[in-house]
Amino acid sequence: MKITLIQGDITKMEVDAIVNAANTSLLGGGGVDGAIHRAGGPAILEECRRIRDRQGRCAPGEAVITTAGKLPAKYVIHTVGPVWNKGNEEEKGLLRSAYISSLQLAVKNGVGTIAFPNISTGVYRFPKEVAAEIAIAAVKDFMAQDNRISNLIFVCYEKENYDLYSRILQS
Ligand code: ADP
């Protein structure tokens, strides 16, 4: 069981599942969501549409799973992070839930290796350091309870996030 940190593009990851920082519509957006749909092709959006027709929007803190189209990963786990708004405890809890829900769905689907982007730190404006602390605590707590994830990779697109994670993971 290990946690790995890299700086790069999550769409390139050869893992069982990559996590998408989606929005409640599940119908695609900018940032990492746009990159995943662009690289993965229309099959992912098609599945998202079917899920949405069946169960409606995906609430912040929850997650759904699809195949990964043309991506090297097997699955995409779409989770919705909270939008930062003054930083009340609800937002922090919802960010933690986004990580935990994704991991629960991952192990339910036999995923052993998983890559996460820095959920909510782009358009959703979560302060990067607060988000990093929450993300790292959430995955460590989960992995301490459940040994089915053998490798968890934080994929930071930006150097600022990479440096933050690097510092927090070392301490
Ligand atoms: P949110 O709406 O949850 O804030 P964004 O996609 O705007 O989602 O940003 C989340 C994080 O994803 C940001 O830190 C951004 O730098 C990062 N990101 C953008 N493109 C990629 C990519 N191709 N691979 C990994 N991370 C990415």
What are the pLDDT digits (tens) for 128-155?
999 999 999 999 999 999 999 999 999 9
As a whole number of angstroms, the distance between CA 63 and CA 153 comes to 18
55 burial type by CB count under 10 A (0-12 exposed, 13-18 middle, 19+ buried) = exposed
Atom of ligand 1 nearest to the CA of 33: 6
Could you tell me the end-to-end alpha-carbon distance of the chain, in angstroms, rounded to an integer? 18
Among residues 9, 16, 33, 53, the one annotated as catalytic is 33
pTM here is: 0.98
**Residue where the block lists tokens 């990067």:** 128
Q: Which CATH superfamily is domain 2-170 in?
A: Leucine Aminopeptidase, subunit E, domain 1 (3.40.220.10)
Atom of ligand 1 nearest to the CA of 158: 16
> What local confidence, expressed as pLDDT, does residue 43 receive?
97
Measured over the CA atoms of residue 122, residue 125, residue 127 and residue 131, the dihedral's sign is negative
> What local confidence, expressed as pLDDT, does residue 1 receive?
85
Beta-strand relationship, 151-156 and 17-22: unpaired
> What local confidence, expressed as pLDDT, does residue 166 receive?
98
As a whole number of angstroms, the distance between CA 125 and CA 84 comes to 6
Asked if residue 34 has pLDDT above 90, the reply is yes
As a whole number of angstroms, the distance between CA 78 and CA 20 comes to 5
110 burial type by CB count under 10 A (0-12 exposed, 13-18 middle, 19+ buried) = exposed
What is the best residue among 78, 157, 165 to mutate for testing ligand 1's pocket, by most ligand atoms within 8 Å of CB?
157
Cβ < 6 A, ligand 1 pocket: 9-11, 21, 31-33, 35, 81, 117-124, 155, 157-158, 161
Amino acid at 109: N
Domain ranges of the chain: 2-170
- The answer to whether 9 is a known catalytic residue is no
Atom of ligand 1 nearest to the CA of 121: 4
> What local confidence, expressed as pLDDT, does residue 42 receive?
97
What are the pLDDT digits (tens) for 57-103?
999 999 999 999 999 999 999 999 999 998 888 999 999 999 999 99
SS3 state of residue 100: helix
String of DSSP letters for 101-118: HHHHHHHHTT--EEEE--
**Averaged confidence pLDDT in the chain:** 97
Measured over the CA atoms of residue 84, residue 57, residue 27 and residue 67, the dihedral's sign is positive
Q: Whose CA is nearest to atom 20 of ligand 1?
A: 32
Asked if residue 50 has pLDDT above 90, the reply is yes
